[in-house]
Amino acid sequence: MEPTSTPERVHVTRSRARPGGVPAEQLNGRPFRERKPPWLKVPAPGGPTYRRLKSEIETGNLHTVCEEANCPNVGECWERGTATFMILGDTCTRRCGFCNVKTGKPTWNDPLEPLRVAQQVRTMELRHAVITSVDRDDLPDYGAGAFVGVIRSIRMLAPECKVEVLTPDFRGQEMPLAKVVHERPDVFNHNVETVPRLYPVARRGSNFLRSCRVLRMAKEFGGPDVVTKSGLMVGLGESFEEMVEAFEILRAHRVEVLTVGQYLRPTEQHLPVVRYWHPDEFAELERVAREIGFESVASGPLVRSSYHADESAREVAEARAI
């Protein structure tokens, strides 16, 4: 008898609209192809500066989260002299239900990437560069070494540029986090993204309190030299009270800067939008957050984690100089 061969295993990624097999009735939301509220309309990017930078970034074989995540503010930010670079490739080891970055088994390994990012920062004459990455749970240091390399390279090639890092949670490990904070980025950002109740649906593989501890440790390691920052989305079914509770937990973990924006569904394969929050509600969230004690708050339908990042950092610096 001839031995039977094992059929080749075909990997199929499940839809992010039902992460972990969440019952569909728990995810009832608005139709994907519906007219969005007027306050979410923005002009398509296409100015001369935008086109030039887009060409330069593509030529340099670099990734920006501005493009990967379909950020609605990409044109405005690039015209302002700010940009968010995504290092360690474009493939994430986690599968958040809201995120447009592709997921799978990463293969990206470019030891010269930190230098290429720094060269691009210098070429673009950026005033404020945000460095983020996909989750790289496959790496021994979860990608911390790449952040270190980029910070050092920017300090060397573009010393006038402020550096903000938007990191993964490093699985809550202290050593990778300490390596990054030791380089003294101007801002350490780690987004909690949503309220604790929605983590099993929206952020499988992550933990709200673990993310809060990462932020607290970053402040303890960095002291007054490092500003801590985090961001959340609305529109996944959270309540106003849940948002305020999340703000209070973040502030208790020594977070100083906060961003709040509207979740926009990237594709039909992602979590549905449950509700579009009105601009007045964002204004009220900002008022409450400032009362809680955040030094800088950006809250609005089109706000993203890196939106006007330079202004947030400047607001904190000016407040502390008084």
pLDDT confidence bin for 4, thresholds 50/70/90: very low
Annotate 142-153 with b (16+ C-beta within 10 A) or e (fewer): bbbbbbbbbbeb
pLDDT of 89: 87
pLDDT of 14: 45
Query: What confidence tens digit (pLDDT) does each residue in 173-230 have?
Result: 999 999 999 999 999 999 999 999 999 989 888 999 999 999 999 999 999 999 999 9
**309 neighbors 166 (Cβ within 8 angstroms):** no
Mean per-residue pLDDT of the chain: 85
Q: Helix crossing, 240-252 with 279-292: angle to 10°?
A: 30
Query: What confidence tens digit (pLDDT) does each residue in 22-78 have?
Result: 544 456 788 888 899 999 887 666 666 667 767 777 777 676 666 655 666 666 666
Q: What whole-number distance in Å separates Cα of residue 209 and Cα of residue 313? A: 25
The number of angstroms, rounded, from the C-alpha of 303 to the middle of its chain's C-alpha atoms is 12
Structure tokens at 253: 């973990």
pLDDT of 78: 64
pLDDT confidence bin for 81, thresholds 50/70/90: low
Structure tokens at 16: 């992010």
pLDDT confidence bin for 268, thresholds 50/70/90: confident
Check pLDDT > 50 for residue 289: yes
Check pLDDT > 80 for residue 95: yes
Sheet holding 296-299, edge to edge: 63-64, 82-87, 128-133, 162-166, 187-189, 227-234, 257-262, 296-299
Average pLDDT over residues 126-138: 91
Structure tokens at 85: 């670079």
pLDDT of 7: 40
pLDDT of 79: 65
Q: Please, how many CA atoms are within 13 Å of residue 265, restricted to the half-sphere of its CB?
A: 23
Check pLDDT > 90 for residue 239: yes
Strands of the chain, DSSP E: 63-64, 82-87, 91-92, 102-103, 128-133, 162-166, 187-189, 227-234, 257-262, 296-299
pLDDT of 66: 63
pLDDT of 6: 40
